[in-house]
Chains A and B, each alone.
Chain A
């Protein structure tokens, strides 16, 4: 059987998820092309992060399908999806706070390498890992802090480490969960240009509340509300849509 070729990097088909009686994802379908920049917006509690958690495998949907490049990954564990080229960041910073920045990024690199199973050779012997980790930290402008533990650095810098860990994996599909949350204006523009510089080999799907910054990065926009897709399409069309104004912009 020849592998099924797909036009989409990520497909979500009729996804449903409920916590008890509370439906948080109601029949959500998305189709995102390789290289696309997709912004997911919606008010608090619209089910955006829950959708991400299902795509990344942290949560199992009640029904529906998730496909990565045509492969049905709905039943796959999160780590298997990572090896399919999926990476994510977290809304609530999830780093290894006692370890150095370099070690954090190294874990991102190690996750996709067979050498993560190696138990007879010290990690410090892998010079290429350190070199690569430094390159990634340099790309996010944190090379000078490489040897500092994460617990020592500022919040805005931690946000960039979150990003660096995911970028180190050179993902085919990258899920960014509020990468700008809690940042100052200067930090915002730094992270914005970082996201803008992500190569087109990566498809980027981003949840963000800061519309001013995020809309510039997006090509397409999906509006969620009460776990449903309300509007979905090109950025300008979605912004102009009356339902968007109603639900989200509150105008």
Chain B
């Protein structure tokens, strides 16, 4: 049963461009990008117990580095991608050292402050970042000579990257290291007594999450061919965090569902209601009240409840 559903999903995802229009294909691409971003944030929030409100930093840093290198300094997309991911990972390593001096609320505030610094820089250093105008006129890469300019080709590209990202993060959380991480989340003192170094485990996870945040940032800038300081803003971080929590933090599918929900609401609701943010808020309020652990865990509990029948 589970396998049939999974196979159907894969076929559906692969064949989406053959039956959907460009609008929906593009929407699907955006969901895939947001899903990678949410999955990477979930490593911190769900599996590490480190609630970050500054994860957009890594999306933004990767996007800005790639945009600047390709548009201003004449780099090819290959080297630009490598440098931007390396730069993003290094940023995460540096920010991690600062943020992991604290846990809980302190950690959240530091990540928020650090991301605000980057957002401020993107806004104010207009001679480099072009400030509020953003950087426009970017191009998409051509891996193996294949153009990604059509909606369908970009979608398949994003699907390939997102599938790989999902697989890698699934392995990560089921690995020994993933067990160490969950252990440190639940009982840091015990874990230290057992021989685990809690700080190092958290830091490595922070860097790894930054790395995948950077990957989603690259896709983001390829897709939009444009980058603006808003991508680095707290709103951007908070939206992803809401998606993770709404979908179900600490599960693999939850962040994907949550990211899709946020994007769908954004795209549909904004067409009908001017204050779509308010609707987003109400929907989240409902989810948090009805399914406190998130949509996916909530639905699976509902399903087992139905299967057992009324008690």
Contact = CB atoms under 8 A, between A and B. Distances in A.
B179 A79 contact: no
Contacts of B103: none
Contact of A121 (B175, B189, B197, B198): B175
A111 B195 contact: yes
Interface string A96-120: 1010000100111011100111111
B174 A83 contact: no
A82 B179 CA distance: 18
Contacts of B194: 79, 82, 87, 107-108, 110-112, 165, 169
Interface string A64-96: 000000000000011100110001101000111
A110 B190 contact: no
A195 interface: no
Interface in B35-89: none
Interface residues of A, number: 35
A140 interface: no
B176 to A, nearest CB: 5
Given A82-B194, A116-B196, A122 B187 contact: no
B151 interface: no
B115 interface: no
Given A77-B197, A83-B195, A111-B195, A119 B190 contact: no
Given A96-B183, A96-B187, A120-B171, A110 B197 contact: no
B192 interface: yes
Contacts of A95: 187, 190
Interface in B197-230: 197-198, 204, 208
Contacts of A169: 194-195
A25 interface: no
A147 interface: no
B177 interface: yes
Contacts of B190: 90, 94-96
B178 interface: yes
A118 B175 contact: yes
B191 interface: yes
Contact of B193 (A58, A98, A110): A58
A127 to B, nearest CB: 13
A69 to B, nearest CB: 17
B176 A117 contact: yes
Contacts of B276: none
B179 A106 contact: yes
Contacts of A123: 174-176, 178-179
Given A94-B187, A98-B186, A122-B171, A78 B193 contact: yes
A78 B176 contact: no
B191 A107 contact: yes
B133 to A, nearest CB: 41
Contacts of A111: 191, 194-196
Given A94-B189, A98-B186, A121 B195 contact: no
B179 A112 contact: no
B156 interface: no
A112 B196 CA distance: 8
B166 interface: no
Contacts of A112: 194-195
Nearest to A84: B195
Contact of A124 (B174, B183, B204, B208): B174
A56 interface: yes
Given A94-B187, A98-B186, A118 B193 contact: no
A126 interface: yes
B251 interface: no
Contact of A77 (B171, B176, B192, B204): B192
B29 interface: no
B193 A88 contact: yes
Contacts of B193: 56-58, 78-79, 82, 87-88
Which residue of B172, B178, B191, B195 has the most chain A CB atoms within 10 A of its CB atom? Answer: B195
Contacts of B191: 79, 107, 111
B159 to A, nearest CB: 22
A106 B180 CA distance: 10
Given A79-B197, A96-B183, A165-B194, A58 B189 contact: yes
Contacts of A118: 175-177
Contacts of B180: 107, 110, 116-117
Contacts of B189: 58, 78, 94
Given A95-B187, A112-B194, 16 more contacts: A58-B189, A79-B192, A79-B196, A79-B197, A88-B193, A98-B186, A107-B179, A110-B180, A111-B191, A111-B194, A111-B195, A118-B176, A119-B178, A124-B174, A165-B194, A169-B195
Interface of B: 171-172, 174-180, 182-183, 186-187, 189-198, 204, 208
Interface pairs A-B: 8 shortest CB-CB: A111-B195, A111-B194, A82-B195, A119-B177, A78-B192, A122-B174, A94-B190, A118-B176
10 contacts: A56-B193, A58-B193, A79-B196, A83-B195, A95-B187, A117-B177, A118-B175, A120-B171, A122-B171, A169-B194
